[in-house]
Amino acid sequence: PVDSARPAMGGVLLWHDLRNFVRLDRGARGLDEISFMGCIDGKDAIFGRGRLPGDDVRLRLERTGQTVRALCSADGVDWFSVGSVELADVAPWEAGIFAVGYVDRALYPGTPAGGGALRFASVSLWSPAIEGED
């Protein structure tokens, strides 16, 4: 088990390389903060952000073609848009999870050493059925 004093900091990621990735995270920019950021063609950017209080937060990235939408939810029913972005036209893209190791003590004063913690109840990857494929 993870020490509950360590802040929940991490999320989901679409990765091609250091110059092309997007990530949707919770906690990296402060308690209850949701951030959608990344790097497209070598240019760092924040695509959207917001706040979602609560212990049970769900994060979702949806990709259609080169467009990625970032969403978050407290209950898995009502989803809120964090932002969207057009990915660079490169391949392949990989999906995964990540943890933020560096804890900014200005955002999380009194946090013990050891970085943030990644806590997931479940992780799901799915792809819509493509017509004509079995």
Flag whether pLDDT at 1 surpasses 60: no
- Whole-angstrom distance, CA of residue 77 vs CA of residue 33: 20
Asked whether the whole model's pTM tops 0.75, one would answer yes
pLDDT tier at 129, thresholds 50, 70, 90: low
Give the model's pLDDT for residue 17.
97
Average pLDDT of the residues in 67-75: 96
Q: What is the DSSP string of 38-101?
A: EEETTEEEEEEEEE--SS--EEEEEEETTEEEEEEESSSSS-EEEEEEEPPS-S--EEEEEE--
Query: Mind listing the pLDDT tens digit for each residue in 99-128?
Result: 887 888 888 787 777 777 777 788 888 777
Query: Mind listing the pLDDT tens digit for each residue in 9-54?
Result: 889 999 999 999 999 999 888 888 999 999 999 999 999 999 999 8
The CATH class for the domain spanning 10-99 reads mainly beta
